[in-house]
Structure 1
């Protein structure tokens, strides 16, 4: 069965005033920098030692192989867009290491090959063997699609065959960290081997039925120096702790194994694991109908977006287990909101759109891309947030690399494949889902289409599209949820739209120009009353961007400011600040400092407040200048 994903990175070329500098930094700085980190962290050395048949000497986290695989995936996406001899040489070098480290059986995991060769597939919950295999397969598919070569794909196929031969026969179990599920569907789509789809189905169906996860926890020694602490298993080098119930029994929620997927009611546990699992389920649904699985995804997405998601699109509020807690528990300064979780949310939500082209899905992809994800990457391309709080006292900063370095290469592969999220051909229509300047060359139900897009987002709402096609093609344009008003014209003639979230245009396209004007106004937003952290507070959005206040832009401590929601908001573009941003000045008040000398407390009626402005910049841009406090939510005046 052909994939529903028919718009690939090789068919979309991004040329956008906002996104192109990020993508160019990713290509020219980040990918090279991350290759150097693979060397410095010992990731590539682990493969060399495995090739030489050595034992011991493993460096890094036990899932360190996955960093190399994600880097390969990102680099392959870049090779799909333009052949870079230096990058190709790097890619070929890493692929050669990976291929030569693989055993004759197809097995490949340098931690077990070097450290615990007799314990393979014995601790699926903790040891990430299937997680690493998933990232290998994803990298192999990306490289094959980019180059047409099979060197890495052959490695992935041999490993997938080994896994298929092992599970359901010698071993029954599911991974603690998901990722293999979506990878197997991607492998099926390039090989047409049904057994890979069956194996993905096996892992999805067994989850929540598998007693191995509990057994492994009870019988695990200190894995890599891991230890029990306050009722949870803490990996020695960081990472998440495992969720137990009040009696200390493992309930599976940390790894989304608290119930079969079809019965799950709420997003639980480690947020990245959840996103990868649900993205895999969505991929499976694109190939095989399953009403119960589909209903489960609908419930889970609704729970996440309505009760467990930050205004930035970030997810996962708890540091302890890097994940979800309970409905409306969304603290700001202690928010976790891992960058990888934002990436995973984009993966899952885009796949949901492919199943059902609902504009709400595309709206969330946009919110997450511009806010929850983009904040995780510094403007130099060499520093990253693992954790993305919505308030800071000034001591939270990006780092160049991490002991658990999952986020930097995850960011790299999303930047490198951004074109995949701008358009969709689901259901035999062309959807323009993200307004990012780009050129699209694709086919819709066999009809060739060429589309050129120019976009002024996120600073201005002007978008133009020039469309040509060999026949009649329906084109649906998303009207973002934030657009206060929207005007659509075709060659200057205005087109009515019904407020459904899409404008559908169907005609023989012969170079017509479509113009959208999406009105951007700053909007004050409040959180659900059950969100204790935001009670009596508001946030500010403009277009797709969430804004924040930084101490560097404001004279008074941020906690002094109370925003007047009835006041004016002035928007002005500052080309010299933060690579060029639209700055917002909102009416606010601050305490009058007079009369406080020698007093700690005073009657309220003896205090005054002064009118002032609070200056805001986009949330994604914070912590790129002098250190200082930051806040997304402000007291209401």
Structure 2
């Protein structure tokens, strides 16, 4: 088994490729220091990167094998026979993303066995590629069977349904990114040659006067730019721009084709598609100095940060489009905040920083990195969240894998690249963006500078930086002063600290206090530096209370708690009887904080006091005596099993979710013909504002339709009942649920189910409760019978028995 190429040989290959291809001379004005030049030595990120290498990447490849993703390449390449093995035509992309992550990991943790596995896997991918460069296993396998088995999302001809859902170009975008990563890691051209052959075909097929279908799921734009940077072949850059320029104005908001990209002002539609597109636009804006692209993505960034981002840095409020809602529509319990969208937003903000050098972009990046993104993977590195809600009643739990496995594979490729976000360079300016213990080699202004950081971020704001330039000389060190250390919760004011912190950041150079200029969020230290120079940075980290813009309805009369970049939450294992949804902390709580080495692999907790609420049968709210409240970092929730969690803590009893009153429904066991984790929503006593309210939980029978279905309540002992009411879920016109055709109440009498004797006809209406009174019956079991529409399913928010 051959080992990784020695550094000298890798440099030779890179120089050889550079001589042959004439790489681009124009690019971002600020250059990121590659992660290969930054070795993390901290106790927070370094163990996670190692665990990604030891756990995440191996299990991701294992699932790709067991799920049939790898088998698809084998069948397409003639190594095996049979039909397409997986659910979706985009499943090829998971393999490519994990190869990308494995390639990054190899540069930090050389592994000849992994490298050999990649060699074999890439060989299989090469066999699956058709002679002209086309690579899409679903179609290739279907053509072996006379077209049988072609996925319904794909057209009989290549490319023509990519705008919709075929994902042909999406797969290739991830192929190109993986190919560049693998080449850079190993010096091998095996996957790069496959990518170039594919990209040449795409260039041949697409363009003015040829196929003019725009990608339905953006990412190929970024992949083509990486191929351009690697090969210097401008046709790849031109093709990336072509794919962007042909979008709109008559397409869908869902995939950002409703307007020309340069006319767009708002973040709309699917959040991952969006951030990948904005990142591709940023790449081209940098390389071609494209002002129209730059202006558009600047407007869009402001739209996100000023009204569509969660306090955790997550984006994407709704699950129906896996994306953006209107400004200030940011529900917590049903927040989508897809892990992939957090990663995409980090890509986007990093690119904006490289364009402008403004620390506000790193403020957003850091908030997302430490909270919404990190929540997407467990401490064991083998369980993953797809959505990342800010509140849970216990129905959420990370999964080992998904049928649509974009999030685990995205985590696998993102985590090993985190060191590449720490530093950046522009001429003789060195930007220090993130404070993480590391040893780095940085080329700046023609010289080499060794930088070492010692920090215990995110738990402590004390940072020690030592410099070792190759020779004494003048350059500028730009130390980022985070927005949260300047009394800014996030740029734009969507979230603010309710209290003002008067503690100042302190900077000491070689034992001398200095007060440097603060420009664009950075402390600018311009001086002559020599070996052994030391900078001490002290960033205060008090516990801060965060309040939201009052237009965010779900956050009114609530506060979030932040310390440093970390957002905290209350979770069930640490709090009274596992209850946190009915927690009230008051408007002026006091906080203490301590580091617990034995908790969640070592974490800083926050303690305060609070009270618990409960609803009575007469509709009032009871408030308990004071209880101890413990908060943990939001990103670490659900590592001890499912249970209640909330980020936004009520300051008034009315803004909490009181423990339900002991009604017939609440005391019953709920079941039905279709049992899901959402079934308990029908008795949680939290009603919606209308029949299409996605901010509260509901139960549905989708995709069932045109049949009778039911919900059932069972009590231990019979009780007399005489009334029922139901609030229907209806997500029309876009969703698959409508109010049902009819319904009735049945009760159990002996071993038989009987219909109640209703005093009036059953009504079926939207946006209000449908009530029915009936002759009293004594029973221990009652059913809600529902006749679904012929074309649509239905659902229930609340089912009440009295």
Q: Same fold (TM over 0.5)?
A: yes
1:432 counterpart residue number:
432
CA–CA distance in structure 1, aligned partners of residues 620 and 175 of structure 2 = 65
Higher strand share: 2
1:57 counterpart residue number:
84
Higher helix share: 1
2:175 counterpart residue number:
136
1:222 counterpart residue number:
none
Could you tell me how far 1:630 is from its partner in structure 2? 0.4
Return the TM-score normalized by structure 2.
Answer: 0.72
2:638 aligned with 1:623, yes or no? yes
Within a 5 Å distance, the mapping from 1:11-26 to structure 2 comes to: 11-26=37-52
Would you say the 8 A contact 1:383–1:401 is kept in 2?
yes
2:534 aligned with 1:517, yes or no? no
Unpaired runs of 5+ in structure 2? 1-23, 148-155, 486-500, 653-802
Change (3 A) 1:348 1:101: same
Q: 1:200 aligns with which of 209, 221, 240?
A: 240
Would you say the 8 A contact 2:32–2:423 is kept in 1?
no
- Write out per-residue CA displacement over residues 358-397 of structure 1, whole angstroms, 9 at most, x where no aligned residue: 1111111111110010000011111000010000000100
Unpaired runs of 5+ in structure 1? 212-250
- Write out per-residue CA displacement over residues 272-325 of structure 1, whole angstroms, 9 at most, x where no aligned residue: 000100011111111011212111111100110110011001010111110111
Change (3 A) 1:259 1:426: farther
Would you say the 8 A contact 1:254–1:321 is kept in 2?
yes
CA–CA distance in structure 2, aligned partners of residues 295 and 277 of structure 1 = 14
Which deviates the most, 56-65 or 388-397? 56-65
1:392 counterpart residue number:
392
1:563 counterpart residue number:
585
Could you tell me how far 1:564 is from its partner in structure 2? 2.7
Which deviates the most, 560-569 or 101-110? 560-569
Would you say the 8 A contact 2:254–2:268 is kept in 1?
yes
CA–CA distance in structure 2, aligned partners of residues 142 and 603 of structure 1 = 60
- Write out per-residue CA displacement over residues 46-87 of structure 1, whole angstroms, 9 at most, x where no aligned residue: 000011085733423110110000000000001122321111
Q: 2:133 aligns with which of 106, 111, 126?
A: 106
2:618 counterpart residue number:
601
CA–CA distance in structure 2, aligned partners of residues 609 and 69 of structure 1 = 54
Helix, strand or coil: the match of 1:431? strand
Change (3 A) 1:473 1:148: farther
CA–CA distance in structure 1, aligned partners of residues 83 and 617 of structure 2 = 62
Q: 2:511 aligns with which of 459, 478, 492?
A: 492
Q: 1:502 aligns with which of 498, 507, 522?
A: 522
Could you tell me how far 1:469 is from its partner in structure 2? 1.9
2:157 aligned with 1:119, yes or no? yes
- Write out per-residue CA displacement over residues 449-470 of structure 1, whole angstroms, 9 at most, x where no aligned residue: 2111111111111111111223
Which deviates the most, 295-304 or 498-507? 498-507
Change (3 A) 1:603 1:7: closer
Would you say the 8 A contact 1:354–1:426 is kept in 2?
no
CA–CA distance in structure 1, aligned partners of residues 182 and 619 of structure 2 = 68
Would you say the 8 A contact 2:611–2:623 is kept in 1?
no
Within a 5 Å distance, the mapping from 1:578-597 to structure 2 comes to: 578-591=600-613
Would you say the 8 A contact 2:67–2:85 is kept in 1?
no
CA–CA distance in structure 2, aligned partners of residues 443 and 257 of structure 1 = 41
CA–CA distance in structure 1, aligned partners of residues 202 and 482 of structure 2 = 43
CA–CA distance in structure 2, aligned partners of residues 180 and 269 of structure 1 = 18
CA–CA distance in structure 1, aligned partners of residues 383 and 123 of structure 2 = 28
Structure with higher Rg: it is 2
Within a 5 Å distance, the mapping from 1:401-480 to structure 2 comes to: 401-426=401-426, 428-470=428-470, 471-480=473-482
CA–CA distance in structure 1, aligned partners of residues 625 and 177 of structure 2 = 57
2:739 counterpart residue number:
none
Could you tell me how far 1:155 is from its partner in structure 2? 0.8
Within a 5 Å distance, the mapping from 1:63-462 to structure 2 comes to: 63-115=90-142, 118-125=156-163, 126-168=165-207, 169-209=209-249, 251-426=251-426, 428-462=428-462
- Write out per-residue CA displacement over residues 182-209 of structure 1, whole angstroms, 9 at most, x where no aligned residue: 1111111111111111111111111114
RMSD: 1.8
Return the TM-score normalized by structure 1.
Answer: 0.90
1:574 counterpart residue number:
596
Count of residue correspondences: 590
Helix, strand or coil: the match of 2:120? helix
CA–CA distance in structure 2, aligned partners of residues 58 and 111 of structure 1 = 9
